[in-house]
Structure 1
């Protein structure tokens, strides 16, 4: 696709609606986005998220959004819940929309036929895949949304990593549809087309910067271990000792509070960069422990491991998840303010994890929303106008989240992946 018009400034707007009628909900979110974008030319990119309540009218929704906002490229996906501004809508009707004007940016939309099947075993196969999603030196980000029943997402993301020209070009960010637990039950949108399986996405190339925050929300416990014997996703020995024995000794050493957290599950973090001298927050790819083999004194995890890799056990709880996201957002506040964001958060987060609603969305809003007089007044005991400006943010609760750890993207679980849009620094 050719570059958008080069005039104007990078601008994003978001909208969210809980109206049960699809037509009225779309009218509501489009009005919010139109007000946020202000007068100007067409909307270059719109990302649309909607709950199962609106799947039957997905085609109508797509047409209405494109018409109301003069959208050049529309990408959408169905979800269990949606995010907009400071609000997270869970287990009830919802539509959210992120609209962007991206002057000078080339958009490369893609769907299943451009990506699947892929062959990562040959240079020719990787080149074909790279062309499918516009991966070259100008790539700034690829947004990938997929149906979990028809797309091998973990393997695909790995192949897309390989297909990128080099590791420093744009990251792959996205998530899996979560509106239905059945095959062909979800809906994916690309422009006017609606699919019940497969994938959709769009790549951004040119003068825009997309930075990422990937909050896995875990805390390491115990020492690191070297995998000394493994069979696919089964860890047989750690440091030369039976893996299950290591786990039992770790559990016995935990505080009563941490032993209580084990009811939420035990996780294994695999070190991404083995060349580092020390490992800390953000250095691990977190995976669930999914079972044990008593006969072999082994543990199984949701990841294939090889001998020589470094791992460390982790726990997850609401406090750790809150602290992890806050620290990552603090780091982003040291940089140029973003103009908007896309959030894909796990459907195991929200009120399933935190004791209050809107946790992730409100944390992002606090970090990046413009300072307004009402906030200052609130510190003096006065109320804040709920209609006051907030950070343009939209997204959804996914059945899996895609985002980078280091320079490679992965399919995650229990994670919040945030893409922040910033203007490209001038040379």
Structure 2
């Protein structure tokens, strides 16, 4: 749980932020509230949208002035309120697939498995096959199979964690690749 943000009670900060949202953003936030968490050690001026892992806001404990989050939150982590956003989801996927493509020794994958959150796809992007198209474009068009899922697995701070609403890909290479 989170008790404070920048030395202020978390509920006070959230109520102030919520009051400043447009009506459309309020409705969207109420439907799927998210909290972006960025690890310690990244200077604020260098933070990018892809530095944040989006986690579910589970609820509040008013008696303790606590925000309950579906993830481990450490002192010093950076926090952002997140509204489900196709542009940021697209930019994050492009960033991460381009990072994979830039690894000098990376050969073209022989294939891939894609696991995406059930709230992605047409619901989020308004076009079919968005995630598949991005991955194929960055990784030299590997054959891809996959499915929509309730939860996905992926790294956070060097450990495998559950994610929701994300895209995770497993790449396969021919034998002898190094």
The alignment's TM-score, normalised by the length of structure 1, stands at 0.36
2:139 matched to 1:418?
no
Q: Post-superposition shift, 1:291?
A: 1.3
Cross-structure match for 1:123: none
Pairing of 1:322-341 with structure 2 (within 5 A)? 322-335=90-103, 336=106, 337-341=108-112
Residue of 68, 71, 77 corresponding to 1:300: 68
| Residues 49 and 88 in structure 2, CA contact (< 8 A), matched pair in contact too | no
| Residues 282 and 405 in structure 1, CA contact (< 8 A), matched pair in contact too | no
Residue of 42, 57, 61 corresponding to 1:289: 57
SS of equivalent residue, structure 1 residue 411 = strand
| Residues 270 and 309 in structure 1, CA contact (< 8 A), matched pair in contact too | no
2:22 matched to 1:251?
no
2:43 matched to 1:277?
yes
Greater helix content = 2
| Residues 346 and 413 in structure 1, CA contact (< 8 A), matched pair in contact too | yes
Distance in 1 of aligned mates of 2:24 and 2:98: 27
Distance in 2 of aligned mates of 1:406 and 1:294: 30
Cross-structure match for 1:363: 134
Per-residue Cα deviation, 1:26-64 (whole angstroms, up to 9, x for no partner) = xxxxxxxxxxxxxxxxxxxxxxxxxxxxxxxxxxxxxxx
| Residues 36 and 79 in structure 2, CA contact (< 8 A), matched pair in contact too | yes
SS of equivalent residue, structure 1 residue 275 = coil
Q: Post-superposition shift, 1:417?
A: 0.6
C-alpha distance 406-303 of structure 1, shift in aligned 2 (>3 A): closer
Q: Post-superposition shift, 1:369?
A: 4.4
Distance in 1 of aligned mates of 2:51 and 2:92: 13
Q: Post-superposition shift, 1:267?
A: 1.8
Output the aligned Cα RMSD.
Answer: 2.6
C-alpha distance 281-419 of structure 1, shift in aligned 2 (>3 A): farther
Q: Structure 1: any 5+ residue segments left out of the alignment? A: 1-233, 371-390
| Residues 152 and 162 in structure 2, CA contact (< 8 A), matched pair in contact too | yes
Cross-structure match for 2:78: 311
Pairing of 1:204-243 with structure 2 (within 5 A)? 234-243=1-10
Distance in 1 of aligned mates of 2:65 and 2:50: 29
SS of equivalent residue, structure 2 residue 102 = coil
Q: Structure 2: any 5+ residue segments left out of the alignment? A: none
Residue of 370, 388, 394 corresponding to 2:145: 394
Distance in 1 of aligned mates of 2:86 and 2:41: 31
SS of equivalent residue, structure 1 residue 324 = helix
2:33 matched to 1:266?
yes
Per-residue Cα deviation, 1:273-304 (whole angstroms, up to 9, x for no partner) = x2343443443332111212334433221124
- The count of corresponding residues between Structure 1 and Structure 2 is 170
| Residues 261 and 317 in structure 1, CA contact (< 8 A), matched pair in contact too | no
Cross-structure match for 1:354: 125
| Residues 261 and 315 in structure 1, CA contact (< 8 A), matched pair in contact too | yes
SS of equivalent residue, structure 1 residue 333 = helix
C-alpha distance 329-257 of structure 1, shift in aligned 2 (>3 A): farther
Greater strand content = 1
Q: Post-superposition shift, 1:329?
A: 2.3
| Residues 270 and 284 in structure 1, CA contact (< 8 A), matched pair in contact too | yes
Distance in 2 of aligned mates of 1:360 and 1:259: 27
